[in-house]
Amino acid sequence: METILVIDDEPSIIRLVRDYLEQAGYRVLTASNAETGLHSLRSETPDLLVLDLGLPDQDGRDLTRLIRLDRQLSSLPLIMLTARVEDSDKIIGLELGADDYITKPFNPREVVARVRAVLRRVEGGRNTISRRISIGDLTLDTGEHILRLRGESVELTPTEFELLSLFMENPGHTYTRDELLEKTLGYSYEGAGRTLDTHIRNLRQKIEPDPHQPIYIETVHRIGYRFTRKLRGKQ
């Protein structure tokens, strides 16, 4: 049984999300503030975190930064809950390392669907036959979920790893935005294109010598993205 930690200071939200996730077969832990939530993260090692940005003792974005900088927690799948509706707020959350976000008010079934989609990506990665793919300065181990850039380990979120695996396994293939959404997020919805673009931008920040002039992940105007064929390596 997979364990989900929900951190939110609204009791009604906690009850609603917990009830629906438990009905879906998950074990659910809850916390009403960042301090208690961080303790649960380190003592219970949940499989996924659902995090509200508006916590009473610490901004959820600051907690996300802390999680992504902690080597034991850095790869934890994370879905943000936010009452902020501006695109800039959502993008900031994704840039900090969230795998997805849900805007309040929400349908609790949507929370379950998003949780399933993120966990499915993680589980799919675990079941992948281990391969080492080297292109340019990048070496990706699909089985161990490790990316190395010029020999140095690079921390990726589950969504970023899923995207990079797809790209590096199929260099030169142009993926439409809808294809990337379905293959990595597991679904598409209004506004998801901005989410995809943010994940691509985050990935470029981590792997490109100059993210503003990418040599690995190329934009195909009005279509989508592809991974370059120009930099060949041993597979």
Nearest residue to 206 (alpha-carbon basis) of 136, 134, 148, 135: 148
Q: Of 108, 125, 142, at which residue does a domain stop?
A: 125
Per-residue tokens: 17: 């999300």
Same domain assignment for residues 101 and 154:
no
Burial environment of residue 207 by CB neighbours within 10 A (0 to 12, 13 to 18, 19 or more)? buried
pLDDT digits (tens, 9 = 90+) for 200-232: 999 999 999 999 999 999 999 989 999 998 775
pTM for this one? 0.69
Same domain assignment for residues 113 and 153:
no
- Residue 105 preceded by cis peptide, ω within 30: yes
Instruction: Report pLDDT for 41.
Output: 95
Average pLDDT over residues 48-57: 92
Q: In the chain, how many domains are there? A: 2
Same domain assignment for residues 161 and 98:
no
Element counts in the chain: helices (H) and strands (E): 8, 12
Give ∠ CA 14-85-47 in degrees, rounded to 5. 40
Phi, psi (deg, nearest 5) at residue 83? -90, -10
Question: Looking at the domain assignment, is residue 233 inside a domain?
Answer: no
Same domain assignment for residues 201 and 139:
yes
Same domain assignment for residues 219 and 121:
no
DSSP for 42-54, please give it.
HHH--SEEEEESB
Helix crossing, 11-23 with 108-126: angle to 10°?
Answer: 50
Q: Of 96, 125, 154, at which residue does a domain stop?
A: 125
Same domain assignment for residues 16 and 120:
yes
Instruction: Report pLDDT for 142.
Output: 85
pLDDT band at 155 (very low <50, low <70, confident <90, very high): confident
Question: Looking at the domain assignment, is residue 85 inside a domain?
Answer: yes
C-alpha radius of gyration, the chain, whole number: 18
The boundaries of the domain holding residue 101 are 3-125
Same domain assignment for residues 110 and 133:
no
Question: Looking at the domain assignment, is residue 185 inside a domain?
Answer: yes
Question: Looking at the domain assignment, is residue 40 inside a domain?
Answer: yes
pLDDT digits (tens, 9 = 90+) for 170-204: 999 999 988 888 877 765 555 566 778 888 999 99
Instruction: Report pLDDT for 129.
Output: 67
Lowest mean per-residue pLDDT among 6-15, 56-65, 150-159, 226-235: 226-235
Q: Of 73, 95, 125, at which residue does a domain stop?
A: 125
